[in-house]
Copies of this chain bind each other. A is one copy, B any other.
Amino acid sequence: MNEIRPVRAKSGTNQEGASAHNRRVMIDALRLNGHLSRADLARATALTKQAVSNIIEELENDGLVASLAAVRKGRGQPSTPYRLVPEGAFAIGLQIDRHVTRTIAVDLIGAVLIRKEVNLPGGGPEEGVDAILALIDETRRELVTTAPEFNDRLVGLGVAMPGPFGIDSATDDPWMMAAWQSFPLLERLSEGTGLDVRLQNDAAAAATAEKMVGAAHGIDHAVCVYLGYGLGAGLILNGELYRGGHGNAGEIGMILSRARVGADDARAPIEHRISIASLCKGLDIDPADPDLYRRIDAAAGSKDRRVTDWIAGAAHELRATIQLLETIFDPQTIILCGGMPPVLANLLIDALHPLLPSIAERRQRSTPRLQLGFTDPWAVAVGAAAEPISRTFDPRFSAILKSRVGGTL
């Protein structure tokens, strides 16, 4: 403690870390493959039968896995497959959006257990946070009351709200939620609930949802393009969500468009053409309109000229963005998701084809270059709730390491 010079180093690990990893690997394998016997797991994880047996027994005692009926499949003793027990854990997701606030609870396999939606009272975050805490508490109580098997099974609270976070320049973008950005939300929620709380932006949450229960399930390299009020991307790289140096990776809405606005060189963010906000502008709807979803749905269904114009513009811009993302990330697939009516999503997907040539054009593709993901407005909340589940149960480098105590010399 004589010098202030910080020592930079990664953490080491020990048997506990290894064991924790192995438990996560078992859960991950069951999540990906549905059900596997102990022998299957031993082969798949490169562990010995005995090690797997011990771990599975432990997980069974913890109520995280359960056996199914034995299966005869040829010579040899029949195998006993194991599956995840959905009731083994649950997490709460909180989505704070511009006009609504939602809570949701999902179980170990990502299934939705309960959901609630409120309009926050006017005023700022200071007033809102109490309402949020009440909503979370209500969600928690209600679930445990109706399904007591979930008692003591809550692993965390995930929060999703529009980013970017921690940016100096309070941009004058009317769709940014400046007040919430500067509010110490996580601290207040953590204090108020006693839970481990983590924040993601909308796109990251949508990607987390796609990864656990959607099109990105089991895919290690995917870019989820999230089209909401704004535009973002959730980056799944090496099987984990990538956050960037300051938690703002994937804010692709702020990429400057290729199209010039006027005669000068000023270019607008692509979000100004690819977003529900821009569609609202075109349709002359207030984005705060509580009936927004239905109105867009109607307009899209009726082939309103203003919708087709928007689609043409958005598709033009988005095609280039997809080519860009493919070029930069070389992902296995790109997933288009967002809280929009399926009619609109399908029109957009159609308008995006044919895609621009890119390195993603390869003969032996196992997944399409572009797929449609969730369009359910609740997907972001699901992703928010899926994050604590993933953090608690998925294999990841950081879960192996010992938690740092000191870190400075």
Listed in ascending order, the chain A residues whose CB lies under 8 Å from chain B are 2-3, 7-15, 17-18, 21-22, 25, 28-29, 32-33, 36, 40-41, 43-47, 51, 73-74, 164, 166-169, 218, 220-221, 233, 237-238, 242-252, 254-256, 258, 267, 320, 323-325, 327-332, 356-359, 361-363, 395-397, 400-409
User: Could you say which residues of chain B place their CB within 8 Å of the CB of A249?
Assistant: 328-330
| Complex contacts, A73 vs chain B, CB 8 Å | 2-3
Assess the B251–A327 pair: CB atoms within 8 A.
Answer: yes
A247 with B330: in contact, given A40-B7, A242-B238 (CB under 8 Å)?
yes
**Given known A45-B9, A320-B256, contact A331–B248 (CB-CB < 8 A):** no
| Inter-subunit contact B9/A25 (CB<8 Å) | yes
Given contacts A8-B29, A168-B363, A256-B324, 19 further A-B contacts (CB under 8 A): A7-B36, A7-B43, A12-B45, A13-B22, A13-B400, A14-B51, A15-B18, A43-B407, A43-B408, A43-B409, A46-B402, A167-B359, A169-B357, A233-B328, A238-B397, A245-B329, A255-B323, A258-B267, A396-B397
> B358 near A254 (CB under 8 angstroms)?
yes
Closest to A260 in B: B258
Q: Of B18, B43, B247, B256, which contacts A323 at CB under 8 A? A: B256
* B362 close to A246 (CB less than 8 A): yes
Q: Pick the contact of A359: B242, B254, B258 (CB < 8 A).
A: B254
A408 to chain B, nearest CB (A): 8
Q: What is the oligomeric copy number?
A: 2
Given A18-B18, A252-B328, A404-B46, also A12-B25 (CB < 8 A): yes
Q: Which residues of B contact A250 (CB under 8 A)?
A: 328, 330
Q: A2 vs B39: C-alpha distance in the bound complex, in angstroms? A: 13
Min CB distance A347 to B, Å, is: 21
Q: Are B245 and A332 in contact (CB under 8 A)?
A: yes
- 9 closest A-B pairs by beta carbon, nearest first, are A244-B330, A9-B29, A9-B44, A221-B245, A46-B402, A12-B47, A12-B45, A397-B397, A7-B44
Q: How far is the CB of A406 from chain B (nearest CB, A)?
A: 4
A133, chain B: closest CB distance, angstroms: 30
- A230 and B135 CA atoms in complex are apart in Å by 55
| Nearest CB of chain B from residue A49's CB, rounded to whole Å | 12
Contacts of A363 in B (CB 8 A): 168
Q: Is A362's CB under 8 angstroms from B10's CB?
A: no
Closest chain B residue, CB of each to CB of A33: B7
B244 touches A331 (CB 8 A): yes
Query: For residue A41, which residue of chain B has the nearest CB?
Result: B9
Q: Closest residue to A324 on the B side, CB-wise?
A: B255
Q: A3 to B33, alpha carbons, bound, how many Å? A: 13
| A324 in contact with B324 (CB, 8 Å) | yes
Across the interface, A244 reaches (CB within 8 A) one of B17, B323, B329, namely B329
Complex Cα spacing A324 to B250, Å: 10
**Does A330 contact B28, Cβ atoms closer than 8 Å?**
no
**A9 and B33 contact, Cβ closer than 8 Å, known pairs A47-B402, A254-B327, A362-B168:** yes
Q: Is the CB of B403 within 8 A of A46?
A: yes
Q: Which residues of B contact A320 (CB under 8 A)?
A: 256
| Known interface pairs A74-B2, A359-B167, A397-B397; A45-B254 also in contact (CB < 8 Å) | no
